Structure 1
Amino acid sequence: MIDKTVETVAEALSGVADGATFLLGGFGAVGQATHLIEGVLETGIRDLTVVANNAGYGQVGLARLLKEGRIRKLICSYPRIVGSTVFEELYRAGRIELELVPQGTLAERMRAAGAGVPAFYTPTGAGTRLAAGKEVRHFDGRDCVLEEALSGDVALIEAWKADRWGNLTYRAAGRNFNPVCAMAARMTIAQTQHLEPLGTLDPETIVTPGIFVDRVVHIEYGSPRL
């Protein structure tokens, strides 16, 4: 019997090692697997590379990982947003690496990894500092930059509903980066707000098939953050 559910966040994160690359779903706080992200602190792992839309905010989730010095490098689109004071302090002090990637390019790099496409050309970033050191070719009257696919060791994502096979649905804007993160990682761990009996999810609403998901932990809707 296939059953990818686990009882605790600690069990969901078991076996993750130092130096791993994490892909984090979410757009700001929306659709972000905060319980899983904060659970990483309890594992003690460090020297991480984290791929996320932004650099966290306040003192929770990604910001906590940054504050505790667990992250070596951040790959993101918006390192400076309202409340992202922790990252700014670390960066100014030279205590963290940053790779800045335009948001559409970030999503496409992960999608490409999931689809088995090693690299692609995009006009985004051409003629700017973001293209420095990258191959540039001319297509249809425009310069285009060669971008490589971006995969990860672990994806931490949030779903609205899941079943024991790992099939996932998302709610509205909570979908955002979660599906591409799930496809691009070697191991995908999902926290879900609702766990449904097998066969009750409408197949037409399943965005991430269970083949891309390794572990599912139920964090009941409305549960307080760790």
Structure 2
Amino acid sequence: MIDKTYGSAAEAVADIQDGATLAVGGFGLSGNPTLLIEALLAQGTRDLSIVSNNCGTDDWGLGILLNAKRIRKMTSSYVGENKEFERQFLSGELELELTPQGTLAEKLRAGGSGIAAFFTQTGVGTQVAEGGLPRRYDGSGGIAVASPTKEVRLFDVGGEPRDFVLEEAIQTDFALVHALRGDRHGNLVFNKAARNFNPLAAMAGRVCIAQVEELVEPGGLDPDSIHLPGVYVHRIIEVGTGIDKRIERRTVSASPNHEKA
């Protein structure tokens, strides 16, 4: 088996060139491959087309690439926590392909599974299928690029005819993901909520780069506990357990036994 370890994040992302397409794991701020993103920022790569559930916040996750104007296009399902994202999109600086969350997940999984496209009911009867969703504004309030019309086909499901919309799979040049633990062969284990879009993003990338908090030797992972087999992972770096992990929105409630002063 091949030892897929790299010495640093900078070394692992060094060949990601301007204009590359990336699938990036994470949901909100959970499971963001932050050190790989920071290394990509430091090397100056720009004009990126990124597929990720969201774009971080103004100063964290993919938000740091956005603030530096390194992203040309985002394919996402949720973008509501990033004011700079809103500003760039409405001003025509950023292209956005807004995609239903489950559809986005399946597009990534399909891309990694060799499936070219699939039919889903999600989006039927809306602009997702009918087209016309703004993808890029012209800076004056008009739409410069709109989403296209997609094929809708009738299928008999359980004796009931239903419309389904055709969605194409996603494959990207690279994938950046975060995992709790991995071995030198690239087998990965994710922790709780970090097992969100990370396995799917990893599958979709032709070259998958994983940062792990703990790197173990081959055989150090319980085979029944592996969430993503190493066949999908091409490079792996260890970042340690002390990396900064942020909470997107903290909500605190008083204890039931709390007494007012």
What range is the shorter-chain TM-score in? over 0.9
Partner of 2:150: 134
Where structure 2 has 5 or more consecutive residues not aligned to the other structure, the ranges are 132-148, 246-261
Partner of 1:77: 77
In 1, the alpha carbon distance for the partners of 2:124 and 2:56 equals 27
Partner of 1:177: 197
**SS of residue matched to 1:54:** coil
Where structure 1 has 5 or more consecutive residues not aligned to the other structure, the ranges are none
Which runs of structure 2 are paired with 1:1-226 in the superposition (5 Å)?
Answer: 2-81=2-81, 84-131=82-129, 132=131, 133-139=149-155, 140=157, 141-224=161-244
Q: Which amino acid counterpart does residue 172 of structure 2 have in structure 1?
A: G
Q: Which amino acid counterpart does residue 35 of structure 1 have in structure 2?
A: L
Shift of 1:151: 0.8
Q: Which amino acid counterpart does residue 124 of structure 1 have in structure 2?
A: T
Q: Which amino acid counterpart does residue 66 of structure 1 have in structure 2?
A: L
**SS of residue matched to 1:6:** coil
In 2, the alpha carbon distance for the partners of 1:175 and 1:92 equals 32
CA contact (8 A) 1:18 1:47 kept: yes
Q: Which amino acid counterpart does residue 120 of structure 1 have in structure 2?
A: F
> Percent identity over the alignment?
50
Q: CA RMSD in A?
A: 1.2
In 1, the alpha carbon distance for the partners of 2:79 and 2:171 equals 20
In 1, the alpha carbon distance for the partners of 2:151 and 2:107 equals 16
CA contact (8 A) 2:25 2:31 kept: yes
Shift of 1:80: 1.4
TM-score (norm 2): 0.83
Q: Which amino acid counterpart does residue 220 of structure 2 have in structure 1?
A: T
In 1, the alpha carbon distance for the partners of 2:190 and 2:243 equals 17
Segments ≥4 residues shifted beyond 6 Å: none
Aligned residues: 223
TM-score (norm 1): 0.95
Structure with greater Cα Rg:
2
**SS of residue matched to 2:77:** strand
In 1, the alpha carbon distance for the partners of 2:195 and 2:94 equals 29
